[in-house]
Amino acid sequence: METQPAKAPATGFDPVLDADLAELSSGASAECALQAERYRRIDSAVRRAVAIADPLGGRPSLDEQFARRSITAELALILRVHERTMVGLIYEAGQLCGTFSNTLVELSAGTITQRHAREILAAAVFLPPTLHAPFEQESLVKARTMNVSAFHKAVARIRDRLHPDALADRAARSRADRRLVFEPDADGMAWLHLYLEAEKALAISTRVGDLATEAQKEAAEAGELVTDVVAADEATGELTDDILSAGTHAQLEADIAAELLLGLPTQSTDDGQTHIPTLAFARPEVFVAVPKLTIGIDTLIGTSEEPAELHGYGPIDADTARRLVAEAPTLHRILTDPLDGTPLQLDPTQYRLSASLRRWILYRDETCRFPGCTRKAERSETDHTRAWESGGLTVEDNLAVLCKKHHRLKHNSRWRVRQTGGGNLNWRSPGGREYTTTPSRMQHAPPRPPTVPTASTVEIGPPLLFNDAPPF
């Protein structure tokens, strides 16, 4: 549905409301203009950073690659976004300041929003470059009069009509992008996104919906069967507590989908009906094989209800953690020094870390220590902040976790880092800005130095794989 531009308010219109709406309209236009200017600045910064890149002795193409990585990291910190988000913003800026400059003009004028511009860029990816100009022109006509939801459908139709390839051929190529994405959320919950062929996704959704409907019918029938029992209990002053409660349809769909993915068998009740068990980490070995669980001794033995830490997610409640412990395949203790709480280590002049020190650094940092990076420590590398070949020791105060990308950036760009004590790292960007990162564990609560050697935590999970070799 298209929306025509607003007309001037009629005589007698409430002046206060009119002022509020006028201010909102003006603010929206100003915000669009600001976003357009931000895109121009981003594109200018990237082009300049690449142009003035200071070679570090590598190939020109490699120097440009690390110059782009470096400016991407610095822009992400300035704008306070994740680097992956910044990569997208840089791409959008390059497109809007280049091929799709008319879209940037419309955004700057406030006739379209940033979301309209992004819809145009997202759809244009699937078109050959020779069709970008007619696609942009036709899309902008719709963007000026449509809200984003309606425009999303309209721009898809324009793209499909202009695309020279058959839908079947495009679908075949898109299958290569199928993937599963885990997204943590609050309060012990998370999202699981599955991107796959439409017919398979629809079949899964339909099947899960049918199973949920059947479960609700069974719950209703079971409720009718116990009606007389409930009436009798009320007559005697007692109530039946085990009436079947299936939950909402959406809750059932979530439980059933999880059970199907985990391959858990259904259970038969005494009355012959099929019951799908509540998830509640019923088979922890299925997913404990990837993340680890960190749990305090007091929580483990039940004298405390402090939350545990599920690696790759965050805090989980004590009961859930103890259920995971009961089925865990392995336990790892972190043994600490009685004086300073750090693990016992081998000769600090040796390059290789001891197993206990390596585990401690991984536990302490939890994620890559480059500013803003959240890549898991177990998927990263341990780095000597001061290079071992330059006299750096293999001790806690000279070690930190860096993902492979930022490990290489540290060695191949003008980013500089130094340890300032307590595991803190001070980073200096090529532009001269400074950033401090603190180990994740130190952000939660400062450790209390033990009076005797102790196992301060227990980690549950498979043996960890480490790669602490330099990136070359």
Q: How many whole angstroms separate alpha carbon 300 and alpha carbon 4?
A: 64
Confidence category of residue 442, pLDDT binned at 50, 70, 90:
low
Contacts of 411 (CB under 8 A, 6+ apart): 470, 471, 472
- pTM for this entry: 0.65
Q: Are the beta carbons of 293 and 321 closer than 8 angstroms?
A: yes
Q: What is the mean pLDDT of the chain?
A: 76
Q: How many whole angstroms separate alpha carbon 131 and alpha carbon 160?
A: 12
pLDDT tens across 233-251, in order? 444 444 334 334 446 777 7
* Beta-bridge partner residues of 194: 180
pLDDT tens across 140-154, in order? 999 999 999 899 999
- Per-residue confidence (pLDDT) for residue 283, from 0 to 100: 37
Q: How many whole angstroms separate alpha carbon 419 and alpha carbon 121?
A: 42
- Per-residue confidence (pLDDT) for residue 4, from 0 to 100: 57
pLDDT tens across 247-292, in order? 677 777 777 777 777 665 444 445 444 444 433 333 332 222 234 5
- Per-residue confidence (pLDDT) for residue 184, from 0 to 100: 85
Beta-sheet strand order (sheet of 331-335)? 314-316, 308-310, 293-296, 455-460, 331-335
Length of the chain equals 472
- Per-residue confidence (pLDDT) for residue 443, from 0 to 100: 54
Single-letter amino acid, residue 42:
I
Q: How many whole angstroms separate alpha carbon 401 and alpha carbon 419?
A: 12
pLDDT tens across 344-375, in order? 444 556 667 777 788 888 888 888 999 989 88
45-67 as b/e: b if 16+ CB within 10 A: bbeebeeebeeeeeeeeebbbbb
DSSP per-residue codes, 176-191: GG-EEEEEE-STT-EE
Q: How many whole angstroms separate alpha carbon 343 and alpha carbon 349?
A: 16
pLDDT tens across 42-77, in order? 999 999 999 988 666 556 667 788 999 999 999 999
pLDDT tens across 92-149, in order? 999 999 999 999 999 999 999 999 999 999 999 989 999 999 999 999 999 999 999 8
Token code pair at residue 340: 């300073």
* Beta-bridge partner residues of 315: 309
Q: Are the beta carbons of 427 and 437 closer than 8 angstroms?
A: yes
Give 398's DSSP letter.
Answer: G
Q: How many whole angstroms separate alpha carbon 462 and alpha carbon 331?
A: 8
- Per-residue confidence (pLDDT) for residue 455, from 0 to 100: 40
Token code pair at residue 107: 């955004």
pLDDT tens across 177-210, in order? 888 888 888 888 888 888 888 777 777 888 888 8
439-471 as b/e: b if 16+ CB within 10 A: bbbeeeeeeeeeeeeeebbbbbbeebebebeeb
Q: Which residue has the higher pLDDT, 222 or 172?
A: 172
